Chain A
Amino acid sequence: MASVVFYFQVHQPNRLRRYTVFDSDTSYFDDRQNHDVLRKIAHKCYLPANQVMLDLVRRHEGRFRVSYSLTGTIIDQFRRWAPEVLESFLELGQTGCVELIAETHYHSLAFLYNRDEFIAQTCQHRQMMQELFGQTPRIFRNTELTYNNDVAKVVEDMGFDAILTEGADHVLGYRSPNFIYNPPNCANLRLLLKNYRLSDDIAFRFSNRSWSEWPLTAETFARWVDQINGNGYVCNLFMDYETFGEHQWADTGIFEFLRALPNYVLGSRKNDFLTVSQAIQRYPTVGEMDVPHMISWADTERDISAWLGNSMQANALHDVYALADIVLATEDPVLIDDWRKLQTSDHFYYMCTKWFADGDVHKYFNPYESPYDAYINYMNILDNVRARAANAGVRV
């Protein structure tokens, strides 16, 4: 039997407002824009997709299961501007068919720079999931599925059962992402790797008319899932939740596909849907997976060059974490929250110069005209954070 493990990431950053070197007030975020984007995506994606999921859960009487992670930043935005979306996620949570997965509260790359921050943000997120959904997550995924052996060790020490990451070819080699692995030197932690071919068929290729498989039907896809039998246990379909309605617009037929898929998968009478925890309970690990260098689910390289590919990004990341001691020492919750919101990985993604001239995926999501503008804006804001922290210290 082959088990489909659906995992959806739900996240929005707090985009920054235009902040020049002459600005000095302490509001850094473009709430107007953030509000507008959230409402737009709520309308196009979150609400309709959640509705489809709820329908499927009910129709298939508990045999349709999925996993989600919602970042702290987006939950905060839901509370402020789209409480009905949070309600619908809570409703999904109550069904018993939905597992919540932990991550860093602020969707940050803290692991690379400050272990304590990483742990603090993960605990904060885990606690929020407990308070909101009544579930304490047992599964973890790091920001943008960044992962290596060190991440595994720290995550295991925090008590998690499994971690998700990308099934990057250069670590898999001849092996398949359709099995469960364990990281080196970990007694309990299991590793699930995204099947990027099948995941991207839905998340990217679905509406591409020049794709040989277009238009993709649920029946065809269910057959591909079935082919895993004999050569794997799980079909790890990890993707951005915005796939449903935002990356793939409603008129591509993505919602109809989603609606029909469980029928065909379950109709095989062999295959099913599992949450991550269910998958690791049922299936054994087949071997050790050694990942010494950071991988991620980004771009073709599947590494961290989208956030750390040039000097500007390296400098910005270094500088924001260099402020850790003085910011935390102020014990000012507003300042600390602002500083943590500035750690969200998106801010560094916007500074990426990799394919700037080609104007592709990166540019679509970029609120700035150029990566240089992103860097300049960010560094001006960090100056203000630094000044606030320094002034707070003087007062005490």
Chain B
Amino acid sequence: MKVFMLGWEFPPHISGGLGTACYGLTKGLDEIGVDVSFVLPTAIPVSADSHITLRTPLSMLAAGPGKGGPQMLGGEAQPAHRFEHVQFHRLRALLQPYATPHIQEQTLRKLLELSAQGKLDLPENLLPKELAEQLAAIQPPTQLPKGAFAPGAGAQYAGDLMGQVYRYARLAVTLSRMEDFDVVHAHDWMTYPAALAVKAARHKPLVVHVHSTEFDRSGEHINQQVYDVERAGMHGADRVVCVSHLTRSMVVARYGVAPEKVRVVYNAVEMPDGDGLQMKPIRLNEKIVLFLGRVTMQKGPEYFLRAAKKVVEKYDNVRFIMAGSGDMITACIREVADLGLGRYVTFTGFLRGQDVDRVFEMADLYVMPSVSEPFGIAPLEALSHNVPVIISKQSGISEVLTHALKVDFWDIDEMANKILAVLRHPPLQKTLRDHGTIELQKFSWRDSAERLREVYQEVVRA
């Protein structure tokens, strides 16, 4: 069985998320002997061991190459796995996971800046000349009239991201003609046009993998173009794989996909090597409650902060850490100031590599207050570092993880109630941790890969 896989970020640099899932699934497939031709987008020519790519999120880029650009802060998170059955192909396209038209525009702007300063060598045909001129003429976002970056508004901006998506599709088809494979597997919406094109060109069955939907990412204010691409991908595919039943229900209800076509393959987690599970030293200083993820609407950061306010009113030997960055980061900082929580909350900015491990090792509790989480790998990563978790009931992982505290994301009273219980009662923390780390064993990428192989066999047979 050979798979033409359109994926992301190899190896992943970010905790949780699309890249981690792709990595885990591919590793699992490799372990069970499935051949994979792994295709991923790269904007800038990279040598094998360089780490400068557009896979860095915007905040890293904003810092410039001097700070956390080429050298990874904190070092590599995962030791390299020897892939026996996977071949990698990098296609020149300006795509990154979780891009929105706004982020795309900002990324492009930054690239142009760096290129103008001579710090970066942008290939010419990546950016059409007209586009570069258009960008140069744009005022900084804060001065634009309201609504200019609203989803759906301004086709030229959305068109830029879409432009890259279709460019990627053309490149993928070209590559696919040179490859031999049985099935196409596409991860997340930006690869769907490429996947549909490859399916049409090579007459091979297609499996699309829904890691999140536009509704998860944008609530009810979806970008119509993105929705259309998602829907086209799902309908054009032979099978739709979702990361949870929660997501499956959304796919069936909101995208009109026939239920028989939709499968659920849960994500899993990479278990750290033996020395990752160190015993934590007994600390007498403050307890640490951790939020780690993109600071964006989907992840519910404001609920975390409001619950924090209620917690410190009853228990003040605590520190809330918000690790991550995103479009809501400024709003969150402001919220902390307004709530008078300044001395209890720490913003670390974006963390990667071993800094992620370190912050997990320090934490007494991990909270995932997501508004709509298709799966949620991060709580598993927390448990693999011996950190008990509170998870939103509106998440895919709450379907399968039993040894966790669960709460409705909007219920800040209950969230605070549970946070306080963990902080004040060590036996609760201990029991959650003990049972959670055992339960972790049932999440294996290998099992997910086996499930995927069954799906592949279904579509190839048909």
Contact = CB atoms under 8 A, between A and B. Distances in A.
Interface of A: 20-22, 310-312, 314-315, 353, 356-357, 369-370, 372-373, 375-376, 379-380
Contact of B402 (A315, A357, A375): A357
B421 to A, nearest CB: 4
Question: Which one of B405, B414, B428, B435 has the highest number of Cβ atoms from chain A below 10 Å of its Cβ?
Answer: B428
Interface string B391-409: 0000000000011011000
A379 B435 CA distance: 20
B405 A21 contact: no
A376 B421 CA distance: 6
Contacts of A357: 402-403, 439
B425 interface: yes
B425 A375 contact: yes
B425 A21 contact: no
B432 interface: yes
B410 to A, nearest CB: 15
Interface string B288-329: 000000000000000000000010001000000000000000
Given A356-B402, A370-B406, A375-B425, A20 B431 contact: no
Given A21-B420, A376-B417, 7 more contacts: A21-B416, A21-B424, A311-B430, A369-B406, A372-B431, A373-B405, A375-B421
A21 B431 contact: no
A369 B405 CA distance: 10
B84 interface: no
Given A20-B414, A370-B402, A353 B431 contact: yes
A315 B427 contact: yes
Contacts of A376: 405, 417-418, 421, 425, 428
A375 B403 CA distance: 13
Contact of B417 (A22, A314, A353, A369): A22
Given A20-B417, A356-B403, A370-B406, A314 B427 contact: yes
A28 to B, nearest CB: 16
A369 to B, nearest CB: 7
B224 to A, nearest CB: 38
A393 B434 CA distance: 39
A369 B420 CA distance: 19
A372 B428 contact: yes
A171 to B, nearest CB: 29
Nearest to B313: A22
A20 B428 contact: no
A20 B413 contact: yes
A22 B413 contact: yes
19 contacts: A20-B414, A21-B417, A21-B424, A22-B314, A310-B431, A310-B434, A315-B425, A353-B403, A353-B431, A356-B402, A357-B402, A357-B439, A370-B406, A372-B428, A372-B432, A373-B405, A375-B421, A376-B428, A380-B417
Contacts of A312: 425, 427-428, 431
Contact of A380 (B421, B431, B434): B421
A353 B439 CA distance: 12
Contacts, number: 64
A388 B431 CA distance: 29
Contacts of A380: 417, 421
Interface of B: 310, 314, 402-403, 405-406, 413-414, 416-418, 420-421, 424-428, 430-432, 434-435, 439
Contact of B428 (A21, A356, A375): A375
A21 B430 CA distance: 20
A22 B414 CA distance: 9
A353 B438 CA distance: 12
Nearest to A23: B417
Nearest to B419: A21
A118 B416 CA distance: 37
Contacts of B414: 20
Contacts of B435: 353, 356
A353 B405 CA distance: 13
Nearest to A351: B431
Nearest to A369: B406
B416 A311 contact: no
Given A353-B403, A369-B406, A21 B314 contact: yes
Given A21-B420, A22-B413, A379-B421, A311 B427 contact: yes
Nearest to B310: A22
Nearest to A309: B431
B95 to A, nearest CB: 40
A356 B436 CA distance: 12
Nearest to B400: A357
B399 to A, nearest CB: 13
A47 B330 CA distance: 65
A372 B414 CA distance: 13
B273 to A, nearest CB: 26
Contacts of A372: 403, 405, 428, 431-432
A261 B148 CA distance: 83
B420 to A, nearest CB: 5
A370 B398 CA distance: 12
A381 to B, nearest CB: 12
Contacts of B439: 357
A20 B439 CA distance: 27
A310 B281 CA distance: 22
A315 B430 CA distance: 11
A37 to B, nearest CB: 24
A167 B319 CA distance: 53
A55 to B, nearest CB: 46
A314 B417 CA distance: 21
Contacts of A20: 413-414, 417
A186 to B, nearest CB: 37
A168 B399 CA distance: 37
Contact of A311 (B402, B405, B431): B431
B367 to A, nearest CB: 14
Contacts of B421: 21, 375-376, 379-380
Nearest to B393: A369
Nearest to A311: B427
Contacts of B425: 312, 315, 375-376, 379
A356 B310 CA distance: 30
A159 to B, nearest CB: 38
Contacts of A373: 405
A350 to B, nearest CB: 14
A370 B428 CA distance: 12
A379 B428 CA distance: 10
A358 B431 CA distance: 17
A372 B427 CA distance: 10
A356 B404 CA distance: 12
A376 B413 CA distance: 14
A306 to B, nearest CB: 15
What are the 7 tightest A-B residue pairs by CB atom distance, in nearest-first order?
Answer: A311-B427, A20-B417, A315-B427, A376-B421, A357-B402, A21-B420, A312-B427
